[in-house]
Amino acid sequence: MDFPLTCILLRVDVLGGGECGATFARCRDFRPLSRFRPLRAFCSLCSHRCDPALPTISTVHRILGRPALSTRILLLQLALIVITVTAGFVVSLVQARRQIDHQAGQQSLAIARTVRSLPEIRAAFGQARPWTVIDPIAEEIRRNTHAAFIVVANRRGIRYSHPDPSKIGKPTSTDPSVALSGREFVGVQTGTLGRSVRAKVPIYGRDHRVIGLVSVGVLESAVSAQLLSDLPVILIPPLVGLALGVLGSVLLARRIKRQTFGLEPNEIATLLEQREAVLHGIREGTVAADRHGRVTLVNDEARRLLALEDDPIGHKLTEIVPAGHVREVMSGASEGPDQIVLVDDRVLVVNRMPVSLRGQHVGSVVTLRDRTELEGLLRELHDVRSLADALRAQEHEFAHRLHVVAGLIEVGRYDDAVGFIESQALVHQRLVESIVESVGDPALLGLLLGKAAIASERGVDLRVTDTSLPAALDDTRDLVTVVGNLVDNALESVAPLGRGWIEVSVRPHEDGLLIQVADSGPGVDPALVDEIFNDGFTTKARRGTGRRGLGLALVSQAARRRGGRVHVENDGGARFTVFHPRVVVTA
């Protein structure tokens, strides 16, 4: 089924940091292979409304019971966030427990050092009943510092103090060898009161010998209680991170769903394949650019029509498009539909359409159509119509002349009738003979005879002077283009004046031909001499989207294609001189 190119919805933004893509709107006149309708809106480049009867992606997902792409991404992100936050919380909890254990150990060590430094404690070791002095002091300090226990023992490990009076006079439940050897100990051990963080320090006598030890501890249950009291503070950062992660994941999932129009990956891949197939299969050249004028998409036909050899993606239109009218049209400097431009030896019809998404300008799409062959046919049709008009006018003219001849014969003036016929035929015969004798190439001969008839009908005297082409030419396509367009230009300049003349001269010169077309018109404005050969330039009023501004541009193009040159001067009118090289004259 044929479908308009405008049924392709091009989303162009990238380059500005955003997104770039192409999505097909499934319209009534364009149904791609995809089973689902990706959009429920108007195509941005046409006026066709999408079929509302087609099922949406969300409907299909509900039917199939399969979560959408955005949902799967959301679930994956949530799982990763929960795992990360949980791992972070566990690490924080372990670090907090280690910190509390360290603080409890340092606190116990400080209390133990304080107890051993008391003179009363050291002096009591020389008494018969040391526990009667040491235990009350140790218990008072324990209650003030909230320690679980403060145990003072002698060198044999016999307790002199303990929270449980029944334990006094008995050996310590843990190994005292480290402290009795003169070193301090901080660690976790299990004693009679349970597992605790404890510190042990030696007690020195007057001779600096170890006479006992002090053991101070904090129960693990107290440490755990402190950890539980600090738990809300530890939980706040992970919970905040989890909330932000969930919120960000939800927003990201919604953005992905909005940007992909609810499409699944396989459907996106299918649409991309369809887009590539359509863009590179159509006969129209297509170039898409972002808001900054950088090319984001170009198909094979556009590369061919614009003669693009290198990859144009990412380059500005002004960098890859040839200078001239085509660059002005494609960049938006020259506005209007169906503008005709010249690119090398091709005549192209260019349309530029801005693209907007959600009310914002995101770029433009340019379509190119090759009109080279059609332009040639249009010129031939124009010549045929002009010739038909000339023949129609001559029909009326000859009818009048026949009336004159009939009248002369009716009154018996036969000699006058013959003389009138000979005089009328002589003018036309001389023109035809002069052209036939001077021009041997049939294509150029036919062109000049047709132009002479048209000029005669419009009251213009077309003369072929100083022309010597007795033989045929090997390639007359460019020559016919040059002569035909120069004569047409002269006719349009002279005909409005009512009377005038045009002189055409074609003769060999060096290794080519020298072509001159002069007229008796108003000439060329000196200020416009450098512009009249640009495609699209015209001094005539435009009517619609016609072919104005192409004639002299085609002349210049044909000359430059062969390495020739074009010159214009004012000499009682306009005189165009073209040097047309590399033309082979055949016998």
Domain ranges across the chain: 5-63+262-370, 91-227, 374-586
Both tokens of residue 27?
């319209």
Q: Assign 1 a pLDDT band (cuts: 50, 70, 90).
A: very low
**11 or 69, greater pLDDT:** 69
Q: How would residue 272 be classed by pLDDT, with cut points 50, 70 and 90?
A: confident
CB neighbour burial string for 64-85, b if at least 16 within 10 angstroms, e if fewer: eeeebbbeebbeebbeebeeeb
Class of the 91-227 domain? alpha beta
Phi-psi region of 279 (alpha: psi -120 to 50; beta: other; left: phi over 0): alpha
Structure tokens at 47: 């006026």
Say how far apart CA 182 and CA 203 lie, in whole Å. 8
| pLDDT tens string 422-434 | 776 666 676 677 7
- Nearest CA to 125 out of 215, 216, 203 is that of 203
Residue 472 is predicted with a pLDDT of: 59
Identify the CATH assignment for 374-586 out of 3.20.19.10, 3.40.50.11140, 3.40.50.300, 3.30.565.10.
3.30.565.10
| Residue 215: pLDDT band with limits 50, 70, 90 | very high
Out of 3.40.50.1000, 3.40.50.720, 3.30.450.20, 3.40.430.10, select the CATH number for domain 5-63+262-370: 3.30.450.20
Equal fold, 5-63+262-370 vs 91-227: yes
pTM given for the model: 0.46
Q: pLDDT tens digits, residue range 106-157?
A: 888 999 899 988 988 888 888 888 998 989 999 999 889 888 889 999 988 8
Judged against a pLDDT cut of 90, whether residue 214 lies above it is answered with yes
Q: From CA 134, how far away is CA 126, in angstroms rounded? A: 12
Cβ distance 523 to 574 under 8 Å?
Answer: yes
d(CA 464, CA 304): 40
Q: Quote the CA–CA distance of 58 and 262 in Å, as a whole number.
A: 7
